[in-house]
Amino acid sequence: MTEYLTNESKRRWNEFADDYAQMTKKYGDLHKEILLTPNLLTLIGEVKDKTVLDAGCGEGYLSRLLAGNGATVTAVDFSERMIELAVERTTEEDIHYGQANLENLSEFTEGQFDAVVSNMVIQDVSNLSAALNELYRVLKIEGCFVFSILHPCFITPESRWEKDEQGEKLYWKVDDYFKEGQFEQRFGTKDRVFAFHRTVSTYINTLIKTGFTLEEVVEPKPSRDQIEKHPDFEEDLRKPDFFVFKVKK
């Protein structure tokens, strides 16, 4: 079953890759630029002269930022089209790109990387334990793994704004939180891409079972300055869309 889901997920990401890449600028799309990229870079810390794996790199914007900060970056994605786009877009940095499913990173050796980063990918993997085990294996002892996901408490399969008759947003509705499983995200070119809803306890307990130690978590929210510049982000103070983990081997 997970093999079918992984193949179908990869097919959808390949189909969506060009449109997704179009939305991605130097620091990601606006949500990433404001909420995710600064938090990920802060949590990962100094990367100069470190070996970093960008797991599920997409078109590679974060890999390029890390390489620009002095890291030796290896970046993988299971979508061949994403990797083609990442290679095309990487004109100045020396990044080793490759196609790989995070559930099987057999081309990398145990303890190969000083740090691993994964931006908005882990909620997409069909076999969470397999992916976390592989990322743990390729990380050095004491190395950190920083990753962001859709917030498991708020972005659930049926979550949405409830609106009044004038279309004003009344509140964000969440239901069926404990029903884990595959669902379709809100974007995709023809077929919407997959994600897997899991509870917070599933994430934390799977991390612990894998051997990771929890170091820090962040629920990103915009600053007042950012809201002044981008007023639409006011609603991001009502509920977080993302959850960021820093764990250590």
Ligand X SMILES: C[S@@+](CC[C@H](N)C(=O)[O-])C[C@H]1O[C@@H](n2cnc3c(N)ncnc32)[C@H](O)[C@@H]1O
Does position 134 bind ligand X by CB under 6 A? no
Angle 121-127-132 (CA atoms, 0-180°, nearest 5)? 65
Task: Name the residue nearer to ligand X (CB basis): 96 or 173.
Answer: 96
Rounded to the nearest 5°, which phi and psi values hold at 36? -105, -55
Q: Considering the complex, what minimum distance in angstroms separates the CB of residue 29 from ligand X?
A: 8
Q: Which residue is nearest to ligand X (CB)?
A: 58
Is the distance from CB of 200 to CB of 153 less than 8 angstroms?
yes
Which residues is 248 bridged to in the sheet? 144, 213
Cβ proximity to ligand X: between 6 and 156 the closer is 6
- Choosing from 124, 151, 245, 247, the residue that interacts with ligand X (CB under 6 A) is 124
The residue type of 221 is K
Residues 6 or more apart whose Cβ sits within 8 Å of residue 7: none
Nearer to ligand X by C-beta: 103 or 114? 103
Instruction: Kindly state the smallest distance separating residue 229's Cβ from ligand X, in Å.
Output: 22
d(CA 93, CA 111) in angstroms, rounded, equals: 24
Which window, 115-123, 138-146, 149-157, 216-224, contacts ligand X (CB under 6 A)? 115-123
Whether residue 55 contacts residue 34, with contact meaning beta carbons closer than 8 Å, is answered with no
Minimum separation from the CB atom of position 118 to ligand X (A): 7
Tokens of 43: 């949590």
Q: How many residues bind ligand X (CB under 6 A)?
A: 22
Query: Residue 196 has which token pair?
Result: 């897997």
**3-state SS assignment for residue 54:** strand
Write the interaction track for ligand X spanning residues 5-34; mark x where CB under 6 A is met and - where it is not. Answer: -x--x---x----------x---x------
Q: Which of 39, 74, 90, 119 binds ligand X (CB under 6 A)?
A: 119
User: What does the DSSP assignment read for 147-194?
Assistant: EEEE-TTT--TT-EEEE-TT--EEEEE---TT--EEEE-S--SSSPPE
The distance of closest approach from Cβ of residue 63 to ligand X in the complex, given in angstroms and rounded to an integer, is 9
Residue closer to ligand X, measured from CB, 3 or 234: 3
The residues in 51-110 that bind ligand X, with binding defined as CB under 6 A, are 56-58, 61-62, 77-79, 82, 101-103
Contacts of 72 (CB under 8 A, 6+ apart): 49, 50, 51, 52
Q: Which residues bind to ligand X, rule: CB under 6 A? A: 6, 9, 13, 24, 28, 56-58, 61-62, 77-79, 82, 101-103, 119-121, 124-125
